[in-house]
Structure 1
Amino acid sequence: MKHWMRDHGLLLANLALFLFSFVGMVLSGVLHYNEEQLTHGEPTVTPAGFLATGDFLEATFENWESEFLQMGMYVVLTAYLFQRGSSESKLPDKHEPQDDDPQDAAGDKDAPWPVRRGGLALTLYEHSLSILFFALFAASFLLHAVGGSEAYNDEQASHGQPGVSVLGYLATSRFWFESFQNWQSEFMVIAVMVGASVYLRERGSVESKPVAMAHSDTDT
């Protein structure tokens, strides 16, 4: 068990941080939501009831949407673009293992099943990481629209204004403001990481080059 936890510590730590943050978001979110409800003379909800509100869906999935878009684009862009000296980039002038033709390993019994199978299974598997992120982005984008339209309609109703459909909400400036304000922050962080990793170090981290490595050297 000790070795298993050591071997999966990075995943377990991030899952624990996610759960801690998610619970914190729900508990603080329901308090804020109920304060708003009381201000407008509306009924309050329990934490479980808060999970079914448009406010919760909107707040959650507008953030998840940007995260999955960021990682999906990053996976694709790092396959084709370079940043000399950055630990986040492949070497511009060197063939990397990630570029090897997987068909050459079709006879390797330890290779993943799609590699041994070939054909469409291999084609999909070659891009399965980006497919996953873009599928999660699409699902989060849709749930952001669904939750956002519900929250928007609640606000409209409180002011005696007509509501909109989910498609109608997609045409509002509010939806795109929510999306772009999250997207821009995600790509800004990636740009900082790519650029800063050329010159700055974090000893022991795989996201950093060795401390003594020259700035112009990309090979980690």
Structure 2
Amino acid sequence: MNGKQVSLSHYLTSGHFISATFENFESEFLQMSLYVLITIGLRQIGSAESKKLEENEDVDREPRPSSDAPWPVKRGGWILWLYSNSLSIAFCILFLICWALHFYGSWENNNLELSLKGKPEENILHYLGGSKFWFETFQNWQSEFLSVASIVLLTIFLRQKGSPESKPVDSPDWKTGK
């Protein structure tokens, strides 16, 4: 690309497209992985998104092998441990893949912009240590954290009839969970 209009197929493989797309995916998978991991132990009094404060819930019990249990439960051992943590592992892996693709696309796009200005390209480590990539990264992450904090805190006092993300309309504000 030399500053001229490019075709859609060429754009879909460009650093700009890769960076913009995976920057968005990255923050979503970070949000989901942290949401899954943080909700294991953190509690918020009154939040519909929180587990109960003092009692264990069904998701906390140890898995029991049975005829209709998934095969990792029947197998046990490290396979059961992996399966027991597979949701957070999957989200973390997806986050890391998207972070790497965002970084690569951003670096490629940065070097294209530099070459269009007649400047030398940056090597990958120099770009990683610079502010442009980290600005892209953190400005996207902060919006994800704001949305998670909003649903956790707003569900203490606000309701939405029919939504699984809300407590029943007649539940007291202090009631935790659904």
TM-score (norm 2): 0.96
Conserved in 2, the CA contact under 8 Å of 1:145 and 1:166? no
- Tell me which amino acid in the other structure corresponds to 1:98: V
Number of the residue aligned with 1:90: 51
SS in 1 for 2:162: coil
Conserved in 2, the CA contact under 8 Å of 1:62 and 1:178? yes
Task: Give RMSD over aligned pairs.
Answer: 1.2
Instruction: Structure 1: state its 5+ residue gaps.
Output: 1-36
Q: Is 1:149 aligned to residue 110 of structure 2?
A: no
Whole-angstrom CA distance in 2 between matches of 1:42 and 1:162 = 16
Whole-angstrom CA distance in 2 between matches of 1:183 and 1:115 = 35
Number of the residue aligned with 1:120: 78
Number of the residue aligned with 1:134: 92
Conserved in 1, the CA contact under 8 Å of 2:161 and 2:169? yes
SS in 2 for 1:142: helix
* Higher RCO structure, 1 or 2 (CA under 8 Å, sep 6+): 2
How many pairs does the alignment contain?
178
SS in 1 for 2:33: helix
Give the share of equivalent positions with the same residue, in percent: 47
The 1:161/1:181 distance shift into structure 2, 3 A limit, reads same
Whole-angstrom CA distance in 2 between matches of 1:155 and 1:212 = 57
Conserved in 1, the CA contact under 8 Å of 2:3 and 2:116? no
Q: Map of 1:150-165 to 2, 5 A cutoff?
A: 150-165=108-123
Whole-angstrom CA distance in 1 between matches of 2:156 and 2:130 = 40
Instruction: Structure 2: state its 5+ residue gaps.
Output: none
Conserved in 2, the CA contact under 8 Å of 1:145 and 1:169? no
Cα displacement (A) at 1:168: 2.8
- Bigger helix fraction: 1
- 1:165-189 CA-to-partner distances (Å, cap 9, x unmatched) read 3333211100000000011110011
Q: Map of 1:1-220 to 2, 5 A cutoff?
A: 42-102=3-63, 105-106=64-65, 108-220=66-178
Conserved in 1, the CA contact under 8 Å of 2:106 and 2:133? yes
- 1:20-66 CA-to-partner distances (Å, cap 9, x unmatched) read xxxxxxxxxxxxxxxxx8xxx72322222211111100111111111
